Amino acid sequence: MSVLGNKLLNQIVIEEKNTDVSFILQRLDHKLKKAFSYSMDLIDEEKHPYDGMDIALCRIDKETNTIHFSGALRPIYHYVDGELNKYDGSRYPIGGLRIEDERPYESQEIKFKTGDRLYLTSDGYADQFGGEKNKKFMVKKLKESFVKTSKYSIQTQQFELERLHSEWKNNNEQTDDILIIGIQLD
């Protein structure tokens, strides 16, 4: 799914020259639906894939100090003036089981200034089992970790988040893919 999603994103952004984050997600959803509809005829009806993907997508405009964000079941976190703000994406995945005909992937504009930080994540870090009671890490704890480690450089913050994750999961296997993108805006 990731390889197909990457290929389709490259087509949309590079070949079709689209930069509107909302339109990119709508186009990606359409292309993924189309790709799977071709294969549906070849697959037994009981085995139809309902794979979808969650994605957070942003475009940073340094001329206007604006972040253009759109998400499919994924948020973006904006750390500014000692506070972490969460902007939720739309409530639809890209692809996946379809109940609705059209999926609106709204775009949000976020103003930023030099020194602010952005975080985009997969759900893997928060969903990791561990700790004393072998529970999920949870989004609340992830947000607290962003704030707690925000005093460090982005590189040091990466190492600290990796250390926290390793301590949390202890001897448990990693349960999902983990991706955190941290960006310091300048």
What is the 3-state secondary structure of the chain? Answer: CHHHHHHHHHHHHHHCCCCCHHHHHHHHHHHHHHHHHHHHCCCCHHHCCCCEECEEEEEEECCCCEEEEEEEECCEEEEECCEEEEECCECCCEECCCCCCCCCCCCEEEECCCCCEEEEECCCCCCCEECCCCEECCHHHHHHHHHHHCCCCHHHHHHHHHHHHHHHHCCCCCCCCCCEEEEECC
CATH topology of domain 54-184: Phosphatase 2c; domain 1 (3.60.40)
Q: Hey, where are the domains in the chain?
A: 54-184
Reported as a single tens digit per residue, the pLDDT across 68-83 is: 999 999 999 999 999 9
Q: How confident is the model at residue 100, as a pLDDT?
A: 73
Lowest mean per-residue pLDDT among 63-72, 93-102, 151-160: 93-102
pTM of the model: 0.89
- Tell me the per-residue pLDDT of 5-58, one tens digit each, with 9 for 90 and over: 889 999 999 999 999 999 999 999 988 888 776 555 555 555 555 678 899 999
pLDDT digits (tens, 9 = 90+) for 121-176: 999 999 999 999 999 999 999 999 999 999 999 999 999 999 999 999 999 999 89
